[in-house]
Amino acid sequence: MQNLPDTVRVETGRGGLRRVMIGTPQAEAEIYLHGAHVARFQPREQKPVLFMSEKSWFESGKPIRGGVPLCFPWFGPRQDGRPGPGHGFARLLEWELATATQTNDGEVEIGFRLVSNEATRREWNGDFEMNYQVRIGAALGMELRVRNASRQPMRIEEALHTYLAVSDVRKVHVEGLAGTTYMDTVGTPCMETEGAAPICIAAETDRIYMNTRATCVIHDPDWKRRLMVEKTGSDATVVWNPWIAKAKAMPDFGDDEWPFMLCIETCNVREHPVTLAPGQSHSMGAVIRAENVRTANPAE
């Protein structure tokens, strides 16, 4: 597209894939058109907010590991028994860069668009239009809007599969999901209810928290910061870390990278799919903020 703001440029990134680079007084960001994938977000004078694997593929037809993959129209393995890529096809396709604007307060909004075509119809019987707005400022804002362009109802799953960067996942804790029912999918799936204590990660963790629109707060004492994930239009939250064995089993993930990431995913999945009538739209979004935490000085 033409007439990009001075704070935005489009260039060739890793693997020859096109990417949008954003640099403002508030933050820097990097978004690939492949999957409309937010690969980097870093507020000025802070550590990166998003984790990106050094082993990630940057290849056409393959997912990018880290950042914020977009999962659509299904989550995880396909549930209808038909073959299809894990987490759907949206993260594997090149999106259109539709808009790029700078707001009066210095933030940048980037808009991406993906519409159904013959290739997507071979994978999945549905016509759709997707618009994805990414806002880069002191916080990272993401809003995914899906419109059913079919003549029949459409059932979808969707997720902002966000990989957050942490100092050491064994030392952080997560608040916001106390009392929430979740499906533990490690081993034999079972239903549990989260207790009152903050969530700590001490083993492979893969949980789908249901019927929740709560904000999650990740406390990271070693980095003296907390990350807040505030969401809208989402009735489920996934908490995931692969731990040791699964990290070694993933070819696009470093064997020793698992301590440095934690996924807190904004989603509508499993018991919370979205059903859209013909012509109906649905929006789901998240805002991620990083906040430095001052520690008390014993001498004061």
Q: Read off the pLDDT of residues 136-182 as tens digits, 9 standing for 90 and up.
A: 999 999 999 999 999 999 999 999 999 999 999 999 999 999 999 99
Residue 262 scores a pLDDT above 90: yes
Assess if residue 1 is contained within a domain.
Answer: no
Residue 40 scores a pLDDT above 90: yes
Name the pLDDT band for 3 (thresholds 50, 70, 90): confident
- Nearest-angstrom CA–CA distance, 157 and 75: 6
Return the ∠ at Cα 94 (arms to 255 and 119), rounded to 5°. 105
Q: Looking at residues 4-31, what average pLDDT do you find?
A: 97
Assess if residue 163 is contained within a domain.
Answer: yes
Residue 253 scores a pLDDT above 50: yes
- Nearest-angstrom CA–CA distance, 101 and 108: 6
110, containing H or E segment:
strand 108-115
Q: Looking at residues 38-47, what average pLDDT do you find?
A: 97
The whole-number pLDDT of residue 300 equals 41
Assess if residue 298 is contained within a domain.
Answer: no
161 in active site: yes
The whole-number pLDDT of residue 299 equals 47
Assess if residue 22 is contained within a domain.
Answer: yes
| C-beta neighbour count of 209 within 10 angstroms | 24
Total tally of structural domains belonging to the chain: 1
Predicted TM-score of the model (pTM) = 0.96
The whole-number pLDDT of residue 75 equals 98
Residue 298 scores a pLDDT above 80: no
- Nearest-angstrom CA–CA distance, 108 and 100: 7
What percentage of residues in the chain have a pLDDT greater than 90?
94
Assess if residue 297 is contained within a domain.
Answer: no
The whole-number pLDDT of residue 295 equals 61
Task: Choose, from 123, 161, 194, 257, the residue flagged as catalytic.
Answer: 161
- Residue type (1 letter), 221: P
The whole-number pLDDT of residue 79 equals 85
- Nearest-angstrom CA–CA distance, 235 and 269: 8
Task: Choose, from 123, 143, 257, 265, the residue flagged as catalytic.
Answer: 265
CATH number of 162's domain = 2.70.98.10
Burial 120-136 (b: 16+ CB within 10 A, else e): beebbebbbebbbbbbb
Residue 2 scores a pLDDT above 80: no
CB 58 within 8 A of CB 67: no
Domain interval for residue 13 = 8-292
The whole-number pLDDT of residue 80 equals 86
Residue 113 scores a pLDDT above 80: yes
Residue 272 scores a pLDDT above 60: yes
Assess if residue 299 is contained within a domain.
Answer: no
Long-range contact pairs involving 152-156 (C-beta distance under 8 Å, separation at least 24): 152/278, 153/275, 153/276, 153/277, 153/278, 154/126, 154/128, 154/275, 154/276, 155/273, 155/274, 155/275, 155/276, 156/72, 156/73, 156/74, 156/126, 156/268, 156/273, 156/274, 156/275, 156/276
Residue 224 scores a pLDDT above 60: yes
Q: What is the mean pLDDT of the chain?
A: 96
Query: CA nearest 240: which of 69, 10, 91, 54?
Result: 69
